Chains A and B, each alone.
Chain A
Amino acid sequence: MDKIRQDMLVKIAELHEIPSGAYNIRADGETYSRNSTENIEIITKKDKQGIDIIIKPGTKNESVHIPVIIGQSGLEEVVYNDFYVGKDANVVIIAGCGIHNCGGGNSRHDGVHRFFIDEGAKVKYVEKHYGEGDGRGKRIMNPQTIVELGKKSEIEMEMVQIEGVDSTDRVTRAELSEGAKLVITERLLTHENQYARTDIDVKLNGRDSSANIISRSVAKGSSEQLFISKIEGNNKCKGHSECDAIIMDNAVVKALPEVDANSVDAELVHEAAIGKIAGEQIIKLMTLGLTEEEAEKEIVNGFLR
């Protein structure tokens, strides 16, 4: 693997070497290397591109890394990854996609991830997206994430788009059973002429299920962002969605938070705030000796942390 691809692995999955535990590294449309463990099995799909990740019931404190990197300009792919997380398992899944495009063709990775999480299981899912390269070809990622949460199971999803992705359409769907819990934290930065759409739809079907969606984004240059979130409360449940965006330069940000209460015991809250960096934040940091540019950078970095 060359330096460009190795560096991207560091950016998206903090992988400096081959990880311990289960992993599947996909590079330029093929499996580059893979490891299954006693409790976590990774199998190639027979009918389409992608893998099944099967995590045995009761698996504790194990991790799965499934990074994808594309260094080849013009490569477009759709990959299906299904995660079966067994009862009472507790695992960390680190996904992520990096595209380096220095050619004229568009490079695109559409990852369709489905999670089937059994009763009592807990998952932490981290997904980082990153693009680089000076070619005219676009860097495109359209992730789809579909989650089915069993009784009293939990998933915490951290979805981050660091920079350099020209176009992204991020679709997330989740259905929650009794006592299940979902937390989605999204961090998004767009610049130049980039476009990002986030579309989250959560159904709180089970009694005492809960969802918390927190999105923070920064739109710079002439970029455009659209944030759609819908929480449906179909039982006694708690739902909260919060979209907070910093808008800069000539960017455009639109937020459409929706909450639907179909039960008298559903407690649903949404918040959306879009605005430029507050002048007093910049002034405060300037009184600490930072220049205006340095102040702006600290504020944006902190906000996206």
Chain B
Amino acid sequence: MLELKNLSYTINEGENEKKILDNISLTIGDNEFVAITGPNGSGKSTLAKIIAGIINPTEGNIFFEGSDITKASITDRAKMGISYAFQQPVHFKGIKVRELISLAAGTKLKVAQLREYLSRVGLDVNQYMNRQVDSTLSGGELKRIELATIFARNGKILLFDEPEAGIDLWSFQSLIQTFEKLKEKENCCVIIISHQEKIINAADRVILLSEGRIDKPYVMER
């Protein structure tokens, strides 16, 4: 279970303070599939980075499985089972797809295991495992590999920042199926930041962020 308590994040813009996140409180249970949506600049990505430990909140606390992890490092949170898929995938010159996914899995993966993770994102293992994770891959390919690293983590919290960005419509449909399958996994919650109606529709609960605040309890019309 993940619990955010009175989280705020403030930055200084010249002499003025700007609240990116304003007193966010939220509890996400095990096995829940939550979508976070809202307009650009509403603080969605900041919230995701705070959960992953990349940004420290200026106020408030984060609890994971009952313990306060507000001060825990990115590495420690990853080891506890929090995985985070970047909105903009990172390039690594010289590191191969199979090596990056093996790092994510924490062990040198066999081809059969790689095939399993890559097929979930619609990539052929033979075609991709020895490619380098650099600009020779297209934006869409990099994004899928980014998602595959998260599946290989086998974490307890799977946090995706706009997984649909850069993915073509055809593979988008199978991506949603992949997310729906994650729901069947036990002791794992999925948090997806998205603008996509189809992803939002697949969620158990939708949270609407607006100007750094959760406006009101929001339930999608089914």
Query: Do these two chains interact?
Result: yes
Interface residues of A (CB under 8 A from B): 216, 244, 278, 280-281, 283-292, 298-299, 301-305
Q: Which residues on the A side are within 8 Å of B99 (C-beta)?
A: 302
> B43-60 toward A: CB 8 Å interface, digit per residue (1/0)?
000000000101000000
Contact of B94 among A216, A280, A289 (CB under 8 A): A216
Q: Determine if A303 and B103 form an interchain contact, defined as CB atoms under 8 angstroms apart.
A: no
Q: Name 23 A/B residue pairs within 8 A (Cβ), A-sorted.
A: A280-B86, A280-B90, A281-B91, A283-B90, A284-B90, A286-B74, A287-B78, A287-B83, A289-B75, A289-B78, A289-B79, A289-B106, A290-B75, A291-B75, A298-B103, A299-B92, A301-B94, A302-B92, A302-B93, A302-B95, A302-B99, A303-B94, A304-B94
Q: Which residues on the B side are within 8 Å of A299 (C-beta)?
A: 92, 95
Q: Determine if B93 and A290 form an interchain contact, defined as CB atoms under 8 angstroms apart.
A: no
Q: Determine if A298 and B95 form an interchain contact, defined as CB atoms under 8 angstroms apart.
A: yes
> Please, how many angstroms separate the alpha-carbon atoms of A301 and B103 in the complex?
13
Q: Which of B90-113 contact A (CB under 8 A)?
A: 90-95, 99, 103-104, 106
| Given A302-B95, A303-B94: A284 in contact with B78 (beta carbons within 8 A) | no
| Given A283-B54, A283-B74, A287-B74: A216 in contact with B103 (beta carbons within 8 A) | no
Q: In whole Å, how far is B66's beta carbon from the nearest beta carbon of chain A?
A: 21
> B3-41 toward A: CB 8 Å interface, digit per residue (1/0)?
000000000000000000000000000000000000000
> Please, how many angstroms separate the alpha-carbon atoms of A125 and B75 in the complex?
41
Closest to A283 in B: B54
| Given A298-B95, A302-B99: A281 in contact with B75 (beta carbons within 8 A) | no
Closest to B149 in A: A288
Which A-B residue pairs are the 9 nearest by beta carbons?
A: A302-B95, A302-B94, A286-B74, A289-B78, A284-B90, A303-B94, A288-B104, A305-B94, A286-B75
| Given A283-B54, A288-B149: A278 in contact with B90 (beta carbons within 8 A) | yes
Q: Which residues on the B side are within 8 Å of A290 (C-beta)?
A: 75, 103
Q: Which residues on the B side are within 8 Å of A286 (C-beta)?
A: 73-75, 78
Q: Which residues on the B side are within 8 Å of A284 (C-beta)?
A: 86, 90
Chain B interface main SS type? mixed
17 other contacts beyond A283-B74, A302-B93, with CB at 8 A cut-off? A280-B90, A281-B91, A281-B92, A283-B54, A283-B90, A284-B86, A284-B90, A286-B75, A287-B78, A287-B83, A289-B106, A290-B103, A298-B95, A298-B103, A299-B92, A302-B99, A303-B94
Q: Determine if A288 and B92 form an interchain contact, defined as CB atoms under 8 angstroms apart.
A: no
> Please, how many angstroms separate the alpha-carbon atoms of A244 and B73 in the complex?
31
Q: Determine if B103 and A287 form an interchain contact, defined as CB atoms under 8 angstroms apart.
A: no
Contact of B153 among A280, A288, A305 (CB under 8 A): A288
Q: Determine if B103 and A288 form an interchain contact, defined as CB atoms under 8 angstroms apart.
A: yes
Q: Which residues on the A side are within 8 Å of B103 (C-beta)?
A: 285, 288, 290, 298
Q: Which residues on the B side are within 8 Å of A291 (C-beta)?
A: 75
Is B84 close to A, CB under 8 A? yes
> Please, how many angstroms separate the alpha-carbon atoms of A194 and B216 in the complex?
61
Contact of A303 among B78, B93, B106 (CB under 8 A): B93
| Given A278-B90, A280-B90, A281-B90: A287 in contact with B95 (beta carbons within 8 A) | no
Q: Which residues on the A side are within 8 Å of B83 (C-beta)?
A: 287
Closest to A300 in B: B94
Q: Which residues on the B side are within 8 Å of A288 (C-beta)?
A: 78, 103-104, 106, 149, 153
Q: In whole Å, how far is B221's beta carbon from the nearest beta carbon of chain A?
A: 35
> Please, how many angstroms separate the alpha-carbon atoms of A280 and B149 in the complex?
15
Q: Determine if A244 and B93 form an interchain contact, defined as CB atoms under 8 angstroms apart.
A: yes
> Please, how many angstroms separate the alpha-carbon atoms of A302 and B92 in the complex?
8
| Given A283-B54, A284-B86: A292 in contact with B75 (beta carbons within 8 A) | yes
Q: Which residues on the A side are within 8 Å of B74 (C-beta)?
A: 283, 286-287
> Please, how many angstroms separate the alpha-carbon atoms of A291 and B99 in the complex?
17
Q: Which residues on the A side are within 8 Å of B75 (C-beta)?
A: 286, 289-292
Q: Which residues on the B side are within 8 Å of A289 (C-beta)?
A: 75, 78-79, 106, 153
Closest to A281 in B: B90
Q: Which residues on the B side are within 8 Å of A303 (C-beta)?
A: 93-94
> Please, how many angstroms separate the alpha-carbon atoms of A260 and B84 in the complex?
48
Q: Which residues on the A side are within 8 Å of B106 (C-beta)?
A: 288-289
Q: Which residues on the B side are within 8 Å of A281 (C-beta)?
A: 90-92
Q: In whole Å, how far is A293's beta carbon from the nearest beta carbon of chain B?
A: 10
| Given A292-B75, A298-B103, A302-B99: A287 in contact with B92 (beta carbons within 8 A) | no
Q: Determine if B93 and A287 form an interchain contact, defined as CB atoms under 8 angstroms apart.
A: no
Q: Which residues on the B side are within 8 Å of A298 (C-beta)?
A: 95, 103
Q: Which residues on the A side are within 8 Å of B92 (C-beta)?
A: 281, 299, 302
> Please, how many angstroms separate the alpha-carbon atoms of A303 and B95 in the complex?
7
